[in-house]
Structure 1
Amino acid sequence: MTDVALVAENTENTENTEHTEHIETGAGTARLTWHRAARARLVLALGHGAGGGIEARDLQALARVLPAHGVSVALVEQPWRVAGKKVAPAPKTLDTGWRGLWPALEKPGLPVIAGGRSAGARVACRTATGLGAAAVLALAFPLHPPGRPEKSRADELLGAGVPTLVVQGGKDPFGKPEEFPDGPFELVEVPYGDHGFAVPKRADITQEQALATLTDAVVAFAAARK
């Protein structure tokens, strides 16, 4: 296939439209912002972290790229964020919100990859098996609080129970790639990346290259899901 033909195919597979819906959950009203593929075969749900929303660079990059590869992306805003609160609630409440919006993710009738960044990745891991997720995507998984490696959250990652991809910044203070234990998951490193996948200007790669490493890894992971 020529490059021109590939571009045309990818363009046809993308609607380039956003659709927002509000979902009532046991933790309050959540919000989904859909970036739909024209001929979708998967849904990728992406939750945000405890310190930010769906504007995070990694979530936005995936929302731009994945629809061209047959994956509809749903950016998930937890009820606390929709309500304008500044502090995330306890993990149990986050899980309640995620479980409550899951039926809306399944509504297209496609397999759903549960994903998120930081706290959102933890939610995806904790709930994947119970919800019947096809896989988990853990972006910037917070393996431990900065400077506190003894406070490991590895059990959440190891307990996901479904195919799992971790994409981790090489300089993430919440857990560098070499700190992760062996386990039933794939790990891709974004060189020089911090917890938000930002890379310093003096790095050997650009910010765009760093995000391409992330999106390429997720495209390949999604392509392997049948």
Structure 2
Amino acid sequence: MNAAAQQLTITVSDSNAVSALLLWPAEARAVYVFAHGAGAGMTHPSMEAIAAGLAERGIATLRYQFPYMEKGSKRPDPPAIAQATVRAAVAEAARHCGRLPLFAGGKSFGGRMTSQAQAKVPLPGVRGLMFLGFPLHAAGKPSSERAEHLSDVKIPMLFLQGTRDALAELDLLEPVVKGLGARATLHLVQEADHSFHVLKRSGRNDGDVMAEVLDAFAAWVVRHS
């Protein structure tokens, strides 16, 4: 990687502005606008690793905070505020990287808020959504209700999910993805949990898993750019 991340400020509304980091590698072929999970912000090591790994694969990234995280709160924003932040971040990426194919999504909560925004009113210019651990349900409370809005998403979707993900039991997730038809792709990461951690007995480490995840995303981007 031959560039440092550029610090940006994104105006969401008159009362909300959030921080963002734009990482644009040389010869970037696409840009991924991605949001963090509910419990950790855009500078969490996992978010840093995703941005750096995608840069090595020729994909620029714009990662950003939700307002609650910007303010140091632990309570996630209401969906309307989160979705407005997604829209503002996508618009910011388009301003900076307008010539590049645009993709959006995020980790867990961030991915779900992005999909909700897309389902309500399509995000301008976004060619596809990529979810790093879609949170289908709360841990220990299996349900598919959180996926109901996905039927209103009409662009390609990539679900990257660990087979030990406690927030997406496979017997529920697989029918959801199948029901979305050809526009949805499920890539299962063997032995990984919701954060893509693997047990030592798997014979792999977290670095191996992240390489698999990012390779799968990069290949998917090539197909949909």
TM-score by length of 2: 0.87
Distance 1:136 1:151, change over 3 A: closer
Shift of 1:175: 0.5
Please say if residues 168 and 176 of structure 1, whose CA atoms lie closer than 8 Å, have aligned partners that are also in contact.
no
Please say if residues 33 and 90 of structure 2, whose CA atoms lie closer than 8 Å, have aligned partners that are also in contact.
no
Identical-pair percentage: 27
The range that moved more, 154-163 or 34-43, is 154-163
1:118 to 101, 108, 114: 108
Question: What stretches of structure 2 of length at least 5 have no aligned partner?
Answer: none
Please say if residues 125 and 159 of structure 1, whose CA atoms lie closer than 8 Å, have aligned partners that are also in contact.
no
The 3-state SS of whatever aligns with 2:221 is helix
TM-score by length of 1: 0.86
Shift of 1:57: 5.0
Shift of 1:61: 2.6
Residue of structure 1 in register with 2:29 after alignment: 41
Please say if residues 169 and 177 of structure 1, whose CA atoms lie closer than 8 Å, have aligned partners that are also in contact.
no
Please say if residues 177 and 189 of structure 1, whose CA atoms lie closer than 8 Å, have aligned partners that are also in contact.
no
Please say if residues 34 and 110 of structure 2, whose CA atoms lie closer than 8 Å, have aligned partners that are also in contact.
yes
Question: Which one-letter code corresponds to 2:8 in the other structure?
Answer: E
Please say if residues 129 and 157 of structure 2, whose CA atoms lie closer than 8 Å, have aligned partners that are also in contact.
yes
The 3-state SS of whatever aligns with 1:220 is helix
Aligned residue pairs, count: 213
Q: Give distance in 1, aligned partners of 2:203 and 2:151.
A: 32
The 3-state SS of whatever aligns with 1:154 is helix
The range that moved more, 87-96 or 170-179, is 170-179
RMSD over aligned Cα, in angstroms? 1.8
Q: Give distance in 1, aligned partners of 2:187 and 2:165.
A: 13
Please say if residues 169 and 176 of structure 1, whose CA atoms lie closer than 8 Å, have aligned partners that are also in contact.
no
Residue of structure 2 in register with 1:73 after alignment: 61
Q: Give distance in 1, aligned partners of 2:67 and 2:60.
A: 22
- Could you list the structure 1 runs, at least 4 aligned residues long, displaced by more than 6 angstroms after superposition: none
Q: Give distance in 2, aligned partners of 1:37 and 1:90.
A: 34
2:17 to 29, 37, 41: 29
Shift of 1:215: 0.9
1:131 and 2:131 matched: no
Question: Which one-letter code corresponds to 2:101 in the other structure?
Answer: P
2:137 to 132, 138, 144: 144
Residue of structure 2 in register with 1:11 after alignment: none
Please say if residues 42 and 64 of structure 2, whose CA atoms lie closer than 8 Å, have aligned partners that are also in contact.
yes
Q: Give distance in 2, aligned partners of 1:208 and 1:85.
A: 30
